[in-house]
Structure 1
Amino acid sequence: MRFGVSLSARLIALSILLAPAAALAGPPFLTDDPEPTETGHWEIYAPLFEAAGRGTDFSGSAGVEVNYGAAPNLQLTVGLPAAYTHDAGGWRWGAGDLEVSAKYRFYRDEAAGVQVAFFPGMTLPTGSNGMSAGRVTALLPIWLQKDAGAWSVFGGGGYAINPGSGNHDYWTEGVAVTRHLGDRLLLGVEADHQGADTIGGKGSTSLGAGAIYLLKAPFRVLVSGGPTFDDGGGAAGFHGFLALGVDF
């Protein structure tokens, strides 16, 4: 779940992780998937570290994401981040904005291996020490999924509501490919684009690779990263993600 206004959140690409076996989706990719957490079960990612920026100027979060299967085809998600920035002046930390969302899978064809879900979410201005957007922001995405044996292709797009002085709303879109290698390892690559989120700003395109490795149940390690390029050129930036996941 990455729909705030931090640099890492701005790299959101709307797409889905597809898996013919047990669902391994969303984190660590910049995207999410249409498959909700199983009814009555929990998925927790903690500690969860995200970073994005250019050179020694970067920002991100370190926190917890909690998913709960509230009903068939319905997942509720809460993100509780601590946010940070680093620049020439050093480090700065504070509470991040609270993230809440609800994933509703409204279409599923098991025979065809297709799923579609709507996953609206918002951030609430609960941050401190300059780490808050100061306003409610929102993302309204659609996730699409199609399986093909051990291979999966996912993609989608959505509209981000980004109020504030100098800001404007924008669209995002993305596509990714993943593959299971045995029972424990999933690898994937993705390409995502986000429109400019400020007046006179530039959009950006992010490329990335990610992996999920299953440890002894119920744990798994998730990692991803790659470069980010501003539309129109310039030095490349970067994004990264690392978390320990647990299901129960």
Structure 2
Amino acid sequence: MAALIPLPAYAGPPFVTDDPEPTDPGHWEIYNYAGGTLQPGNNATQFGWDINYGPVKDVQLTTTLPLATQTGQPFGLGDAEFAIKVKVLHHDDGVIPLDISVFPRVIVPTAHGSTQTQVLLPVWAEHDWDGWSVFGGGGYTLNPGAGNRDYWQQGVVVTHMVRAGFMLGLEYYGQSRDSLTERAVTGVNLGTQIHLAGPFSLLGAFGQGLNRKQTVFYTSLKLDL
């Protein structure tokens, strides 16, 4: 049986790294996505729905419902995720020129072979100017279970609005060891978001591991309501 591949959690589609901006109050963001990790002899892919809702100003509720498949493993449910993003600082508050949010996330063991609930505790920050954005941060994940390790993850993204409705971005991300047998992971991604028409946008990212032979990819159709 193949060893489990740690799939990146795409907190801020199309990137692994998230930004601090919550969904607007009364609005939905729905990502119909596919993503995965490819490495020699062992591939893992997810398909699913990443759903954000803004109940009030500066708050976002998130649910991720994946289906997953992997070399040597049956196709089935992935681990469901539930999160709440709360914006705690605005760049125009006069404190520091950054938007900052906390975004705690609970990862429920609904996938085949999963038995433990994980909790991610990140902080994300962003600065914008003249069509450019830099955002990033990271956090600590509580990862119980025999042979597992709690771990840190972090990342930074630079994006540019090339023109209205067309964004390009470059990401660096990393994660420390999440088990006794796994190594730390670092990688880079190139991502884009293209507005198609009406409420629809197309997102995509492609990247390579820097310390292992690993390719990651992500694509989604976003619906803004």
Query: TM-score, length-normalised on structure 1?
Result: 0.83
The answer to whether the aligner puts 1:45 opposite 2:38 as a matched pair is no
Q: 8 Å contact 2:68–2:76 — kept in the other structure? A: yes
CA distance in 1, matches of 2:23, 2:134: 20
- Aligned residue in 1 for 2:83: 101
Q: 8 Å contact 1:51–1:59 — kept in the other structure? A: yes
- Specify whether residues 214 and 56 from structure 1 end up closer, same or farther in structure 2 by C-alpha distance, changes over 3 A only: farther
How far 1:202 moved relative to its partner? 1.4
The answer to whether the aligner puts 1:76 opposite 2:53 as a matched pair is no
SS in 1 for 2:7: helix
How far 1:138 moved relative to its partner? 1.3
How far 1:171 moved relative to its partner? 0.7
The answer to whether the aligner puts 1:175 opposite 2:156 as a matched pair is yes
Q: 8 Å contact 1:34–1:144 — kept in the other structure? A: yes
Query: TM-score, length-normalised on structure 2?
Result: 0.91
Q: How does 1:141-160 map to 2 (within 5 A)?
A: 141-160=122-141
Task: Provide structure 2 residue ranges, at least 5 long, that are not aligned to the other structure.
Answer: none
Q: Share of identical aligned residues, percent?
A: 35
Across the aligned residues of Structure 1 and Structure 2, the Cα RMSD in angstroms comes to 1.9
How far 1:113 moved relative to its partner? 5.5
1:14-62: per-residue Cα shift (whole Å, max 9, x none)?
8xxxxxxxxxxx201112111100001100001x101013034111310
Q: 8 Å contact 1:121–1:138 — kept in the other structure? A: yes
Structure 1 segments, 4+ long, off by >3 Å, are 110-113
- Aligned residue in 2 for 1:188: 169
- Aligned residue in 1 for 2:15: 29
Q: 8 Å contact 1:7–1:53 — kept in the other structure? A: no
- Aligned residue in 2 for 1:61: 46
How far 1:6 moved relative to its partner? 5.7
How far 1:149 moved relative to its partner? 1.0
Paired residue type of 2:47: A
SS in 1 for 2:161: strand
Paired residue type of 2:159: T
- Aligned residue in 2 for 1:240: 217
Task: Provide structure 1 residue ranges, at least 5 long, that are not aligned to the other structure.
Answer: 15-25
Q: 8 Å contact 1:6–1:60 — kept in the other structure? A: no
Count the aligned residue pairs.
Answer: 220
CA distance in 1, matches of 2:44, 2:181: 21
Q: Which has the higher contact order (CA 8 A, sep 6+)?
A: 1
